[in-house]
Amino acid sequence: DGGITQSPKYLFRKEGQNVTLSCEQNLNHDAMYWYRQDPGQGLRLIYYSQIVNDFQKGDIAEGYSVSREKKESFPLTVTSAQKNPTAFYLCASTSRGNGPARYEQYFGPGTRLTVT
Amino acid sequence: AQKVTQAQTEISVVEKEDVTLDCVYETRDTTYYLFWYKQPPSGELVFLIRRNSFDEQNEISGRYSWNFQKSTSSFNFTITASQVVDSAVYFCALIMMDSSYKLIFGSGTRLLVRP
Residue in A with minimal Cα distance to B51: A100
pLDDT at B54: 86
Report the distance separating Cα A63 and Cα A113, nearest Å. 14
**Beta carbon pairs, A and B, within 8 Å:** 62
Burial B4-40 (b: 16+ CB within 10 A, else e): bebebeebebeeeeebebbbbbebeeeebbbbbbbbe
Report the distance separating Cα B33 and Cα A58, nearest Å. 19
Residue in A with minimal Cα distance to B110: A40
Chain B, residues 55-114, CB within 8 A of chain A, namely: 91, 93, 95, 99-103, 105-108
pLDDT above 90: percentage of residues in chain A: 77
Which CA distances in Å does A27 have to A3, A31, A92, A106, B12?
A: 6, 11, 11, 10, 37
Predicted confidence (pLDDT) per residue in B12-69, tens digit: 999 999 999 999 999 998 889 999 999 999 889 999 998 988 887 888 889 999 999 9
**Looking at per-residue confidence, does A101 or B87 come out higher?**
B87
